[in-house]
Amino acid sequence: MKKLSLLLILFSALFSAQSSRMIYQYTFRPDSTKVDSLKTEWMYLDIQKDGSKYYSKNTFESDSIINESIKKQMAAGMKNISVSRQNKGGEINYEVEKTYQEYKTYLTSRIGNDSYKVLEDRKIDWKITPEKKKIGEFNAQKATVNFAGRNWTAWFTNEVPVLDGPYKFSGLPGLIVEVYDDSGSHKMELKGIKKLVAQKAEELNTQGKDIPFVKKKPLEVNRQQYIKQLKQYQNDPVQGMREIMNQPNSKIKVNINGQEFTDPKEVLRALEQNAREEMKKNNNWIELKP
């Protein structure tokens, strides 16, 4: 009891500033045909006064490295920008933002060379059960829901003053400390909480250049428009890159897994082959019905 009281005091201190980071371990099976294809990614759920943001630690760091490299090349006056696309970055390229005052949820996801911000128009209708158990230091209660084609089980605690959770999951009377689907393909577990140091987001000024693999300002679309873009990408994964390379004086050097390509035809061929291999290996999306 004494230990729990100390934890509650600590959490109260953490949340008094309205800025905290929940650290989740996300375990997922990208290939539904391979039982042993489980991967793990560290995810952040940053809690602010007006809302939250859920994103991949590795992807964020990888994007920052790419941006720094491009800034240095542009500052040096280089006409041809070299972008290295390595597999050291994160597997998860989407972010989820929630607004607490408007109670809205947005998915920001990359499709090819473009980024889209999608308002979630489906309600997550939880069914809270009386079942309870201890998860780590927390007393948690069970809730279930069918969302986007999967049956989900969540365990939430009211011992942390946050009504939120990883990905799009929220709306329970407490913080979600664990959530998983019934196929065992996707599982998010709370592993830590720490105070969040506010950082000002810095936008990359590409000076009008359309540079591949650089995080762009997302286009706001509805869910039906987003689904249409997904299908177009599946049919032609290099359409966006083809448009970039057809621009006047466009010269692109791309590094894919350590191999460099400069010839336009070779770039497109390599990118398409890589994209189709990735789609084949990543067929077990978190949303079976986007």
Q: Any idea what the CATH number is for the domain that residue 178 is in?
A: 2.50.20
Is residue 115 included in any domain, yes or no? yes
Cβ proximity of 91 and 25 under 8 Å: no
**Of residues 71 and 165, more confidently modeled:** 165
- pLDDT bucket at 129, cuts 50 / 70 / 90: very high
pLDDT value of position 9: 43
Indicate the residue type of 258: G
Q: Which long-range contacts (CB under 8 A, 24 or more apart) does 167-173 make?
A: 167/54, 167/96, 167/286, 168/96, 168/98, 168/105, 168/107, 168/120, 168/124, 169/124, 170/98, 170/105, 170/124, 171/124, 171/126, 172/126, 172/128, 172/143, 173/128
Domain contains 248: no
What are phi and psi for residue 89, nearest 5 degrees?
A: -80, -175
Query: pTM to 2 decimals?
Result: 0.79
Is 138 within the bounds of a domain? yes
pLDDT confidence tier of residue 125, bands split at 50, 70 and 90: very high
Q: How many domains does the chain have?
A: 1
Is 283 part of a structural domain of the chain?
no
Q: How confident is the model at residue 146 (pLDDT cuts 50, 70, 90)?
A: very high
φ, ψ of residue 87 in degrees (nearest 5): -90, 20
Which band of pLDDT confidence, cut at 50, 70 and 90, is reported for residue 16?
very low
Question: How many percent of the chain have pLDDT more than 90?
Answer: 54
The confidence score (pLDDT) of residue 60 equals 82
pLDDT digits (tens, 9 = 90+) for 172-219: 999 999 999 999 999 999 999 999 876 555 555 555 555 555 567 899
Residue 187 lies in a domain: yes
Per-residue pLDDT at 81? 56
Does residue 27 belong to any structural domain of this protein? Answer: yes
Residue type, 66: I
User: Which residues constitute the domain of residue 107?
Assistant: 2-80+92-222
- Whole-number pLDDT of residue 66: 61
210 part of a folded domain? yes
Residue 157 falls inside a structural domain = yes
